[in-house]
Amino acid sequence: MTQKPEIKKENVETLLETRFVKLYDLQYAPGKHYYDATRREKDELVAVKNDEEFRNMAPDAATCILIVISESGEPRLYLQYEYRYPAGQFLLSPPAGLIDSADKGRDDAVEITAVREIFEETGIRVGSDDRLFTVNPLVFSSPGLTDECNALVCAVVAENAQSGFSQKGAEGSEVFDGFVLLTRDEAARILKEGRDDSGNFYSVYTWAALIYFVSGLWEQ
């Protein structure tokens, strides 16, 4: 087994620190440098965690796989068009949001986050009769650039007269431009084509929501 490099806290240098993002130099060997763009404080960097801490770490955010069951019983996947600044486009995206600092450390933090973000971004309230469960406790976004990570949470909700869709809950930099409710066939087509109906690419989290919906794993 290849011995992994060990990154010690004292060998991490802060290169940039702003309110929303930080850049660290991870010196993993003498004269060897790797860079990590992250929201995390220096003491919370994933790179400096030991094996036990790594396996028990909490995600930064929750991405929501929102499945709406129509009155006829047909399931549809809710995805929205959200402006993504680094891409400069409205990208087909699942609802998602950061875990509040007040909720960190709670066993149900990702579920709390999912319920809040679904309501804020879609207007849908997840009710007591709806299904809400964690699909994956933590997946990394792009570990070659950042230690940012999300939990994947699925909500299966019933569409009814009280479930009016709304994107008026946008906060801060969030900008939305409508949504879609995809049938299995429509989701499979977008999954196969790798583009939305406007011909644009989408994120890996959208791919995950599409594949989870189409596979039927949420029904098991």
pLDDT at 163: 59
pTM: 0.93
- The verdict on residue 2 lying in a domain is no
- If one counts the domains in the chain, the total is 2
Q: Specify which residues 149 forms β-bridges with.
A: 140
pLDDT at 161: 45
Query: Residue for token digits 């060897």?
Result: 32
Q: On the CB side of 33, how many CA atoms lie within 13 Å of its CA?
A: 9
Query: Which of 68-77, 144-153, 159-168 is least confident?
Result: 159-168
The encoded tokens of residue 124 equal 């849908």
- The verdict on residue 174 lying in a domain is yes
Q: Say what percent of the chain tops pLDDT 90.
A: 85
Query: Does one domain contain both 67 and 38?
Result: no
Average pLDDT over residues 40-66: 96
Query: Does one domain contain both 88 and 51?
Result: no
pLDDT, tens digit (0-9, with 9 covering 90-100), for 98-150: 999 999 889 999 999 999 999 999 999 999 899 999 999 999 999 999 999 99
Average pLDDT over residues 168-184: 90
- Show Cβ contacts of residue 199 under 8 Å, excluding neighbours closer than 6 positions: none
Query: Does one domain contain both 49 and 153?
Result: no
- Whole-number Å distance between alpha carbons of 182 and 170: 22
Query: Does one domain contain both 208 and 113?
Result: yes
Q: Does residue 1 carry a pLDDT above 50?
A: yes
pLDDT, tens digit (0-9, with 9 covering 90-100), for 73-91: 899 999 999 999 999 999 9
pLDDT at 162: 52
- The verdict on residue 198 lying in a domain is yes
Query: Does one domain contain both 91 and 185?
Result: yes
- Whole-number Å distance between alpha carbons of 81 and 111: 23
Query: Which residues form the domain of 94?
Result: 61-219
Query: Does one domain contain both 132 and 101?
Result: yes
- Whole-number Å distance between alpha carbons of 121 and 134: 19
* CA distances from residue 123 to 78, 148, 152, 168, 206 in whole angstroms, order as listed: 12, 27, 20, 8, 20
